[in-house]
Amino acid sequence: MIRAALLLWLLAGPALADTIVAARTIPARTILAPEDLALRADDIAGGVSDPGMLLGQEARVALYAGRPIRLSDIGPPAVVERNAVIPLIYRSGGLVISTEGRALDRAGPGDVIRVMNLSSRTTVTARIDDTGAAHVFN
């Protein structure tokens, strides 16, 4: 009976999870590969514990060896470089206007950036899709 109670008490404690850390110093804009990651037997607040969430993602900031990798430190690989000329698309109901724009930031799919309309020279905010096109908010 005492053994069972002790076992239940030990199991009721907080579960420790492993945290993924950088195996080496990784510069920003590097695509993460398995050799870039190491496992630390520690539960670090904000750290990622699933390596599947990190592999193939791009480091948005420098990742230092031994430090935990957080979701805010990574993102999808960029499909648009700063100053690139990209399709700029505006949709409203059945109306679609398409022109060229200049990306004012570097971005991956789903990122929101500023884009300058090359025809009017106005700056708009747009979300980048998987192909690198910028979709203006309505």
Q: Specify the pLDDT at position 6.
A: 37
Computed over every residue of the chain, the mean pLDDT equals 87
Query: Domain boundaries in the chain?
Result: 2-75, 85-136
Render pLDDT for 118-135 as a digit per residue (tens, 0 to 9): 999 999 999 999 999 999
Q: Specify the pLDDT at position 98.
A: 96
Q: Report residue 11 as tokens.
A: 């199991």
Residue-wise DSSP of 122-135: -EEEEEE-TTS-EE
Q: CB within 8 A of 25, min separation 6: which ones?
A: 62, 63, 64, 65
The size of the chain, in residues, is 138
Q: Specify the pLDDT at position 5.
A: 40
May I ask the CATH architecture of the domain 85-136?
A: Roll (2.30)
Overall CATH class of domain 2-75: alpha beta
Q: Specify the pLDDT at position 16.
A: 55
Render pLDDT for 97-123 as a digit per residue (tens, 0 to 9): 999 999 999 999 999 999 999 999 999
Whether 35 contacts 18, CB under 8 Å: no
Q: Which residue has the higher pLDDT, 25 or 45?
A: 25
Dist. CA 36–CA 20, nearest whole Å: 10
Q: What is the reported pTM?
A: 0.69
Dist. CA 110–CA 57, nearest whole Å: 13
Provide the pLDDT confidence category of residue 2 given band limits of 50, 70 and 90: very low
Q: Specify the pLDDT at position 63.
A: 95
- The pLDDT of 20-29, averaged and rounded, is 94
Q: CB within 8 A of 118, min separation 6: which ones?
A: 85, 99, 100, 101, 102
Q: Specify the pLDDT at position 131.
A: 95
pLDDT at 3 over 90: no
Residue-wise DSSP of 60-113: SS-B-BTSBPBGGGEESPPSB-TT-EEEEEEEETTEEEEEEEEESS-B-TT-EE
Q: Specify the pLDDT at position 36.
A: 94
Q: Report residue 25 as tokens.
A: 């110093």
